Structure 1
């Protein structure tokens, strides 16, 4: 599935991480250059600089071939514009929008191109469930709701972890390796698994930062 997300705040970024971990093609649009710089190392997510309310930018980003657009900015007016453009101009099959102010909820309907309206206090669990039918993705989103970060890191020939078993790698406190993807297939992350270049790891943590986790492996 090809997904475009407007807004790289905490919610938009977490959704991008989870959907990309589930091997979807993810495009994340953000106009804050500093925020984009922070996300430069986000694996398997295409970052696009600019305003997602700009139809020409959306077209350049690939909205015409998207299966799902999620407008997740902190401004309701922007989320409505993104939704309307996605549905009316680009014919996107599924459009979801974050509702920041409950008083504006009545606006988020089919007339504005919104298929699924999600209150700001609720992560987009219902959206992902409807759009993908992937229970594993929903489970990861529920971890995010509980304050658990879902983080990916890839092993290269230059990674310090290459050639070492998982038991030999000191992980930050509160961090667990959820799976190791090798040759496109997930493997059980037992302590004896020896990491190889090309491996992709999916970790969950309720304490460590993304930088701390990458430092442990890279």
Structure 2
């Protein structure tokens, strides 16, 4: 699936990493060159510099071929414009937008090209669920319809996994770590990555539940 994400902040970067890990072709757009440079090489996504609320930038990023557009900037006005352009100008089949200010929720509907609106306070899992709601080809994120679940767990100073490399953790069968969020930034889940207190892990599993994941890390 071709995915275009506008906004390379913490949320946009996390969603990009998870969707890229499931084999999707992901393009991440942001006007902040430094932010893009910090993400370069971390995971397999195409990075495009520019303001996603401009039609020319979305065109250059491949919006005309995107099957899913995610507006994940920190500004509601930008997310609305991105959504409207994606749906009306580029005919994106599915558009998901982040709502930063709850008072603006009423605006985020199909009049602005939004298929699904997700409050900023919602966890990353909620945004991914909304984003992949019509994406049957997403291998890792088929969620409950295919018995696949997304589970989050946090490493604390008391966690038995703290200070240990990720590769030393015995995961339940059919489970993998999709991303590790450290200090608000997504980190590639390599076997040698030492887990630290404060790390947040997003795992994908078709068999394990929250208790089994808790047992593995806590």
Query: Scaled by the length of structure 1, what TM-score is found?
Result: 0.68
Aligned with 1:136 (options 137, 140, 154): 140
2:128 aligned residue? 125
Mean CA deviation greater in 208-217 or 18-27: 208-217
- Alignment partners' CA distance in 2, 1:108 and 1:80: 7
Query: Cα 1:177–1:20, aligned 2, differ >3 Å: closer, same or farther?
Result: farther
| 1:44, distance to aligned residue in structure 2 (A) | 1.6
Q: Distance in 2 between matches of 1:88 and 1:174?
A: 47
Task: Note the residue ranges of structure 2 that are not aligned, 5 or more in a row.
Answer: 156-161, 194-218
* Aligned counterparts of 2:121 and 2:167: Cα–Cα separation in 1: 27
Superposition deviation, residue 210 in structure 1: 6.5
Deviations 1:39-74 (A, max 9, x none): 011322000001001101110110001000000000
With over 3 angstroms needed to count, the CA separation of the structure-2 counterparts of 1:99 and 1:23, relative to structure 1, is same
Show the counterpart of 1:3: 3
Residue 89 to residue 129, structure 1, CA distance change in 2 (3 Å):
closer
SS at match of 2:84: helix
SS in structure 2 opposite 1:132? coil
Q: Which runs of 5+ in 1 are unaligned?
A: 149-170, 179-186, 190-200
**Alpha carbons 2:179, 2:189 under 8 Å: kept:** no
Q: Within 5 Å, give how 1:75-154 maps onto structure 2.
A: 75-122=75-122, 123=124, 124-133=127-136, 134=138, 136-137=140-141, 138=143, 142-143=151-152, 146-147=153-154
Structure 1 residue ranges, 4+ long, deviating more than 2 angstroms after superposition: 131-143, 171-178, 201-217
Q: Secondary structure at the match of 2:29?
A: strand
In the alignment, structure 1 residue 173 sits paired with structure 2 residue 164: yes
RMSD value, Cα: 3.4
- The residue aligned with 2:47 is 47
Asked if structure 1 preserves the Cα contact closer than 8 Å seen for 2:165 and 2:192, the reply is no
Q: Which has the larger radius of gyration?
A: 1
The change in CA–CA distance for 1:132 and 1:213 in structure 2 (over 3 A counts) is closer
SS at match of 1:92: coil
The DSSP-based 3-state class of the residue aligned with 1:98 is: strand
Task: Tell me which residue corresponds to 2:70.
Answer: 70
